[in-house]
Amino acid sequence: MTTELGTGIDRRQRSADSELRRRAQAVVPNGMYGHQNMNALPAIPQFIARSRGARLWDVDGNEYVDLMCSWGPVILGHDDPVVEQAAEEQRRRGDCLNGPAPILVELAEELVRTVENADWAMFAKNGTDATTMCCTIARAETKRDLILVAEGAYHGAAPWCTPFPAGVTAADRANLLHYRYNDVDSLRAAVGERAADVAAVIVSPFRHDAGFDQELADPTFARDVRAFCDEIGAALILDDVRAGFRLNHGGSWDALGVYPDLTPWSKAIANGYPLAAVTGTDRYRDAAGGIFVTGSFWMGAVAMAAGLATLGELARRGAVAHMRDVGHQLRSGVLDAASRWGFDVHYTGPAQMPNLLFSNDVDHELSIAFSAEAQARGVYVHPKHNWFVSAATTPDDLDMALTGLEGAFAGLRARHPSTTR
Amino acid sequence: MTTELGTGIDRRQRSADSELRRRAQAVVPNGMYGHQNMNALPAIPQFIARSRGARLWDVDGNEYVDLMCSWGPVILGHDDPVVEQAAEEQRRRGDCLNGPAPILVELAEELVRTVENADWAMFAKNGTDATTMCCTIARAETKRDLILVAEGAYHGAAPWCTPFPAGVTAADRANLLHYRYNDVDSLRAAVGERAADVAAVIVSPFRHDAGFDQELADPTFARDVRAFCDEIGAALILDDVRAGFRLNHGGSWDALGVYPDLTPWSKAIANGYPLAAVTGTDRYRDAAGGIFVTGSFWMGAVAMAAGLATLGELARRGAVAHMRDVGHQLRSGVLDAASRWGFDVHYTGPAQMPNLLFSNDVDHELSIAFSAEAQARGVYVHPKHNWFVSAATTPDDLDMALTGLEGAFAGLRARHPSTTR
């Protein structure tokens, strides 16, 4: 793609990436799967060689400033020295053991201190583990089956929640009802006469469905959902897997004064180490203790040590405020550049997790081309999924990002001279 | 418990463990969950401080020879230098990145070389991820819903398969039919007139239901299951999560000449690093490429580097033969000691993954007491779940295990003078 631009930028080498894609085709179905397959656009490098701070390098040696943060997990920056040292110290003692290491208790205590409405914590590996556990706990406590999910919302990739239905049975979804985000009337309508069968409402802190404009939670909606759950005796599950610890050091709806009963966490909780958690209130403690969930690596002590260090460093460094500040500068820069080059863009969501789409962009053609232009200029962004800002972003990183994104709009304009504002 | 024995063994200190259990009760439902809760017997230390080779130390400094291997994952021994070096080299480059590292392709290629019937591989984090993915792939390929599961078999801890039903809905199990292990007639009977609706039969390489005698697969049963799947056009899923790479360097039914269509792997695949995999045949490649499964940490490159090193070292060291040999010596020693002390025991399953139960043992009272006696003598075994032998077991380790287990039978006899053979 970059070879056709004629905008003076270097042609980036991609031969090592192409060769790995070719080999992957032979031994991995489709060459890649899941959200990494969403990444398999020719202009985005598939294979990554190394990373540090807010920078990463693909297998052809091209350098990028990172605005995806490994799709969320990297929050203090890649290879953070404090997190790595904590992980290394635990690793010397042991990781996957016959039982938990003491770090499990320390991390659970820290989460209970950090998360306003958390009376207890449990740990797992995937965000999907955590969202599924919340549903199971809610069902165990309420003795009800139904879960209310917002249309189009992403809560994981198990059969009950995966966004693409191949291999999913009707029974996997039989206990779901759907409402519209930010529309409490749709919640009441979805429930109808079945209020006494509802175990939980699951909701994201903001609407972050990939490929669509993001939408912040209306504070009234958040309060109404909480009141509705209390009214019908259902659990409120706030799915903080994607946004957790980036919007707030604690629950993402704390600023709205709305506290869930159960919260699934993952992604940023351990700066890239594989960890998920569920926190909950005392009402759900016995139910949580009564379900059987487990995994061979769920007691992995290294990820927990990384998690404890991550939570500590996020607080100590004032990471949320820094990410918000960087995000605001990024937003201003992107909106100015888009305007200068005459593009009508939708830059939505919280500053730390923005999503950039283009008006009247059939099949995301413009956003894909923009992303290619950005990648060619050393800015790693995604054409459909929200971006993520890390706390490691320096003024230099931000400059490199804004310069590259300005260039990307310029390059896009050169290729699409007729696109209207 | 050990304080009541009066058999001359040291009273083991457990104060640090007790204190951690007390703290855990405050911040973790029940103090612990999942299979680690099965471990929460007073005589078994809950919290582990460190480990090396075939030894581990609890938080009170007590040393054990390890016959649980972290419930399976540790196969080359704790803290294996070759695996740790491979992991460390990848860690220096990067772990959780914006896309996979090249190690993904190398590991997939190695699995395809190693596993006889594997044409492709995919990676995940939990054994449950892998078993669930196999069901989803089978359903996507066959366009059928039903999965046949052996009664009492463990295939993970998601709602469709968790052995304890709290929080599970009827819909979660609506597409399961049940057969009896080693009984192909029960398979035909379970299917009845619904052969055209069966997506897959899932089966363990041997029957290893916790709390029960283990049962090896009857070779005729294995061949008949394969033939039955072919006859009705269903996938054969061999659940090698627990046994994989311990019974054979490749599929666990290779010795029987029976090859599945889809195989979930996890536990021992990366010597304790969190990794799961699915391998499959070309017939299921398109379906595998068409389902949407993913996780934030599924591309984690460090676990893949550990996996590649583990597979290489298992082959290079002839690990399966060594584990089998150690297992045979363990079996002989245990059976001799049981006989000497007059206990009628059931020591079942493959030599590398034995299970020790006692005849007429109501509520596992004897096996729990035996396990406590063994722990008190520095042998880490489980009273209900199968044990695991690692390739790190030295003659000294085996001596320590056999001496401790002999002492455990002696201690049990002192407490239960009247138990008949």
Alpha-carbon distance of A186 to A164, in angstroms, equals 23
A24 is a domain residue: no
CATH number of the domain at B374, please: 3.90.1150.10
Chain pair A-B, CB pairs under 8 angstroms: 341
**Rounded average pLDDT over B328-356:** 98
Q: Which of B88, B96, B115, B173 to mutate to test the interface with A (most CBs of A within 10 A)?
A: B96
- Contact state of B100 with A35 under an 8 Å Cβ cutoff: no
**Which of the 8 DSSP states describes residue B45?**
-
Query: DSSP letters along B269-336, please?
Result: GGTTSS-EEEEE-GGGHHHHHHS----TTTT-HHHHHHHHHHHHHHHHTTHHHHHHHHHHHHHHHHHH
The per-residue pLDDT for B407 is 98
Shared domain for A273 and A331, answered yes or no, is no
Beta pairing class for B198-203 and B379-380 = unpaired
Task: Inform me whether the pLDDT recorded for B420 exceeds 70.
Answer: no
Helix B103-114 and helix B301-316, axial crossing angle in degrees, nearest 10: 30
Chain centroid to CA B421? 30
Domain ends where: B316, B336, B367?
B316
Shared domain for A324 and A295, answered yes or no, is no
Task: Inform me whether the pLDDT recorded for B196 exceeds 50.
Answer: yes
Q: Which of A65, A292, A304 to mutate to test the interface with B (most CBs of B within 10 A)?
A: A292
At B264-297, the pLDDT tens digits run 999 999 999 999 999 999 999 999 999 999 999 9
The number of distinct structural domains making up chain A is 2
Split at pLDDT 50, 70, 90, the class of B185 is: very high
* Calculated CA dihedral for residues A280, A283, A285, A286, nearest 10 degrees: -150
CA-atom Rg of chain A in angstroms = 22
**Rounded average pLDDT over A310-330:** 98
The per-residue pLDDT for B419 is 63
Shared domain for B281 and B369, answered yes or no, is no
Residues in chain B: 421
The per-residue pLDDT for B11 is 58
Shared domain for A93 and A233, answered yes or no, is yes
| A33-42, A104-113, A168-177, B76-85: the lowest-pLDDT one | A33-42
- Contact state of A126 with B297 under an 8 Å Cβ cutoff: yes
Nearest residue on chain B to A168, alpha-carbon basis: B136
In three-state secondary structure terms, A215 is strand
The per-residue pLDDT for B44 is 87
- Contact state of B108 with A28 under an 8 Å Cβ cutoff: yes
Q: Which amino acid is at A239?
A: D
Q: Is the CB of B61 inside 8 Å of chain A's CB atoms?
A: no
Split at pLDDT 50, 70, 90, the class of A42 is: confident
Shared domain for A326 and A310, answered yes or no, is no
**Rounded average pLDDT over A194-207:** 98
**Rounded average pLDDT over B327-336:** 98
Q: Are A243 and A72 in contact (CB under 8 A)?
A: no
The per-residue pLDDT for A9 is 46
Alpha-carbon distance of B130 to B238, in angstroms, equals 11
Q: How many CB atoms lie within 10 A of CB B113?
A: 12
The per-residue pLDDT for A34 is 85
The per-residue pLDDT for A417 is 86
The per-residue pLDDT for B7 is 42
Helix (H) / strand (E) containing B414? helix B395-415
Alpha-carbon distance of A289 to A286, in angstroms, equals 5
Shared domain for A198 and A258, answered yes or no, is yes
What tokens does A382 get?
Answer: 């995604």
- Contact state of A135 with B167 under an 8 Å Cβ cutoff: yes
B333 is a domain residue: yes
A55 is a domain residue: no
Q: List, in sequence order, every residue forming a beta bridge with B346; answer none if it has no partner.
A: B357
Between B35 and B11, the higher pLDDT residue: B35
A158 is a domain residue: yes
Angle at B9 between CA B6 and CA B10, to 5 degrees: 110
CATH number of the domain at A307, please: 3.40.640.10
**Rounded average pLDDT over A206-233:** 97
Task: Inform me whether the pLDDT recorded for A6 exceeds 90.
Answer: no
Split at pLDDT 50, 70, 90, the class of A419 is: low
Find chain B residues with C-beta within 8 A of A158's C-beta: 132, 158
At A340-382, the pLDDT tens digits run 999 999 999 999 999 999 999 999 999 999 999 999 999 999 9
Shared domain for B169 and B42, answered yes or no, is no
What tokens does B47 get?
Answer: 């919290």
Indicate the average pLDDT of chain B.
95
Shared domain for B176 and B234, answered yes or no, is yes
Shared domain for B284 and B337, answered yes or no, is no
The per-residue pLDDT for A43 is 78
CA distances from B267 to A21, A276, A358, B13, B163 (A): 28, 18, 45, 31, 19
The domain of B177 spans: 81-316
B312 is a domain residue: yes
Q: Is the CB of A6 inside 8 Å of chain B's CB atoms?
A: no
Shared domain for B179 and B260, answered yes or no, is yes
Task: Inform me whether the pLDDT recorded for B375 exceeds 70.
Answer: yes
- Chain A closest-CA separation from residue B358 CA (Å): 23
The per-residue pLDDT for B42 is 76
Q: How many CB atoms lie within 10 A of CB B185?
A: 10
Chain B window 7-46: which residues touch A at a Cβ cutoff of 8 Å? 20, 23-24, 26-30, 32-36, 39, 44-46
Indicate the average pLDDT of chain A.
95
The per-residue pLDDT for B29 is 97
Q: Are B219 and B181 in contact (CB under 8 A)?
A: no
Task: Inform me whether the pLDDT recorded for B250 exceeds 70.
Answer: yes
Task: Inform me whether the pLDDT recorded for B210 exceeds 70.
Answer: yes
The per-residue pLDDT for B43 is 78
What tokens does B381 get?
Answer: 């075994």
Sheet containing A379-380: which strands, arranged edge to edge?
A48-52, A55-58, A63-66, A379-380
Q: Which of A90, A96, A160 to mutate to test the interface with B (most CBs of B within 10 A)?
A: A96
In three-state secondary structure terms, B190 is helix
Alpha-carbon distance of B402 to A376, in angstroms, equals 64
Backbone angles phi, psi at B70, to 5 degrees: 60, 35
Alpha-carbon distance of B416 to B421, in angstroms, equals 12
Task: Inform me whether the pLDDT recorded for A8 exceeds 60.
Answer: no
Domain ends where: A259, A293, A316?
A316
Which of A56, A266, A291 lies closest to B166 in CB terms? A291
Domain ends where: B270, B299, B316?
B316
A256 is a domain residue: yes
Shared domain for A279 and A340, answered yes or no, is no
Alpha-carbon distance of B80 to A334, in angstroms, equals 49
The per-residue pLDDT for A11 is 58
Q: Is the CB of A97 inside 8 Å of chain B's CB atoms?
A: yes
B406 is a domain residue: yes
The per-residue pLDDT for B400 is 98
- Contact state of B105 with A23 under an 8 Å Cβ cutoff: yes
Q: What percent of chain A has pLDDT over 90?
A: 91
Alpha-carbon distance of A145 to B168, in angstroms, equals 8
**Rounded average pLDDT over B245-262:** 98
Beta pairing class for A345-348 and A355-358 = antiparallel
Nearest in space to B235 (alpha carbons), one of B216, B263, B273: B263
Question: Which residue carries 């600023």 as its tokens?
Answer: A255
Q: How many CB atoms lie within 10 A of CB A151?
A: 12
Q: Are B129 and B120 in contact (CB under 8 A)?
A: no
**Which of the 8 DSSP states describes residue B36?**
G
What tokens does B102 get?
Answer: 């090249």
Helix A103-114 and helix B15-27, axial crossing angle in degrees, nearest 10: 30
At A105-137, the pLDDT tens digits run 999 999 999 999 999 999 999 999 999 999 999
A206 is a domain residue: yes
**Rounded average pLDDT over A160-167:** 96
- CA neighbours closer than 13 Å in the CB half-sphere of residue A182: 10
Task: Inform me whether the pLDDT recorded for B2 exceeds 50.
Answer: no
Q: Are B218 and B226 in contact (CB under 8 A)?
A: no
Alpha-carbon distance of B157 to B130, in angstroms, equals 12
Shared domain for B88 and B64, answered yes or no, is no
Q: Are A13 and A60 in contact (CB under 8 A)?
A: yes
Q: Is the CB of A392 inside 8 Å of chain B's CB atoms?
A: no
Q: What percent of chain A has pLDDT over 70?
A: 96
Q: What is the ipTM of this complex?
A: 0.96
